[in-house]
A = this chain, B = another copy of it.
Amino acid sequence: MNFTLTTLGTASALPTVNRYPSAHVLNVHERLFLIDCGEGCQMQLRKQGISFLKLSEIFITHIHGDHIFGLFGLLSTMSLLGRTADLFIYAPENFSPVLESILRLFGAQFKYKAIHKIVSGDRPEVIFETKGSEVLAFPLNHRVSCYGYLFREKRPQRNIHKFLIEKYSLTLREIARLKEGENIIRDNGDLLDSGEITYIPYTPRSFAYCSDTAPFPELKNWISGVDLLYHEATFLEDNAKTAELTFHSTASQAATLAADAGVKKLIIGHFSSRYRDLSLYESEACSIFPETCLATEGKIIEIPLKKYSVDEN
């Protein structure tokens, strides 16, 4: 039951010797979601040993080059590797001419369909779901149409405490109803309490990705309490004015959001090339939200399964 984030790129507009443009992969139950696709993404995927062909959904935040220039190579390579399965690319509406150009100029030999799924709206909406997980898109506040994404496990079905099946001589019908959370009063007046007899096997995990954006009030509610928040921190506070003008955030602003939203852990990235010493980001953010870490190329953060502990003795 994997729920793991791998950072592929941490640069903002200008890549540096060691920092690639934005790209992350989230593994949710062995389904791989690629989030943004900066130049060099396919090489970074190879370095991490992540199979291109396992990617079925790509989530693009916005059409600035440092978030999409890797798509040209990645989509071509998928074709060369023999992909035939549809590829779904979730992105704002203005991504359409980009994909159209990729396909027109380089897609003549593609044996698979690359399909643009338009994200829109002014509040979080579910845009994709599997049996066990779902993805919501929500608008950010950038210079162009830009969306963040919230990935979360669905609430799992309740499990029955096995030792109580015998104790109460539960029927299959009763077990099914109790698992749905229903309390049952038997003909003899006995109460079968779902909350006592069943349990939630694990607490759903969640990850929110917010890049690029200036701070805005609604965001803290939309990402409230997530286990892991990736938030851009293009600047430090010494460039707060530039951050404001370019609709970006500082490390302090990212950390303040994390604290206000009650998230468990914050990872910051999208660093401006003007800063060579990334520890400045860490110290600025940690002074506000200690559970902050820096995104670095190849960093892997696993959110462990939060299992319910069953003591059946």
Tell me whether A253 is interfacial, beta carbon within 8 Å.
Answer: no
The docked-state distance in angstroms from the alpha carbon of A72 to that of B102 is: 12
User: Taking A77-B14, A80-B13 as contacts, is the C-beta distance between A72 and B39 under 8 angstroms?
Assistant: yes
Q: How far is the CB of A51 from chain B (nearest CB, A)?
A: 13
For A13, the chain B residues whose CB sits under 8 A away are: 76-77, 80
The docked-state distance in angstroms from the alpha carbon of A69 to that of B69 is: 8
For A81, the chain B residues whose CB sits under 8 A away are: 14
Of chain B, the residue at the smallest CB distance from A68 is: B72
Q: How far is the CB of A270 from chain B (nearest CB, A)?
A: 15
In the bound complex, do residue A65 and residue B69 qualify as a contact, i.e. CB atoms below 8 Å apart?
Answer: no
8 Å CB contact of A69 from B14, B15, B46, B72: B72
Of chain B, the residue at the smallest CB distance from A38 is: B73
Highest count of chain B CB atoms <10 Å: which of A14, A63, A81: A14
In the bound complex, do residue A42 and residue B65 qualify as a contact, i.e. CB atoms below 8 Å apart?
Answer: no
User: Taking A65-B106, A98-B105, A105-B98 as contacts, is the C-beta distance between A43 and B70 under 8 angstroms?
Assistant: no
Of chain B, the residue at the smallest CB distance from A70 is: B39
In the bound complex, do residue B14 and residue A47 qualify as a contact, i.e. CB atoms below 8 Å apart?
Answer: no
Q: Which residues A114-165 have CB closer than 8 A to chain B?
A: none
Tell me whether A204 is interfacial, beta carbon within 8 Å.
Answer: no
Tell me whether A230 is interfacial, beta carbon within 8 Å.
Answer: no
8 Å CB contact of A65 from B43, B46, B76, B98: B76
In the bound complex, do residue A20 and residue B43 qualify as a contact, i.e. CB atoms below 8 Å apart?
Answer: yes
Tell me whether A2 is interfacial, beta carbon within 8 Å.
Answer: no
The docked-state distance in angstroms from the alpha carbon of A241 to that of B206 is: 51
Q: How far is the CB of A256 from chain B (nearest CB, A)?
A: 28
For A46, the chain B residues whose CB sits under 8 A away are: 15-17
User: Taking A15-B43, A101-B101, A105-B101 as contacts, is the C-beta distance between A73 and B80 under 8 angstroms?
Assistant: no
Q: Which residues A33-59 have CB closer than 8 A to chain B?
A: 39-40, 42-43, 46-47
A sample of 18 more A-B contacts (CB under 8 A), given A16-B46, A65-B76, is A13-B80, A14-B81, A15-B77, A17-B46, A20-B43, A39-B40, A39-B72, A63-B105, A65-B73, A65-B106, A66-B73, A69-B69, A69-B72, A69-B73, A72-B72, A97-B104, A97-B105, A101-B105
Give the 6 A-B residue pairs with the shortest CB-CB distance, closest first.
A39-B73, A101-B101, A65-B76, A40-B40, A69-B72, A69-B73
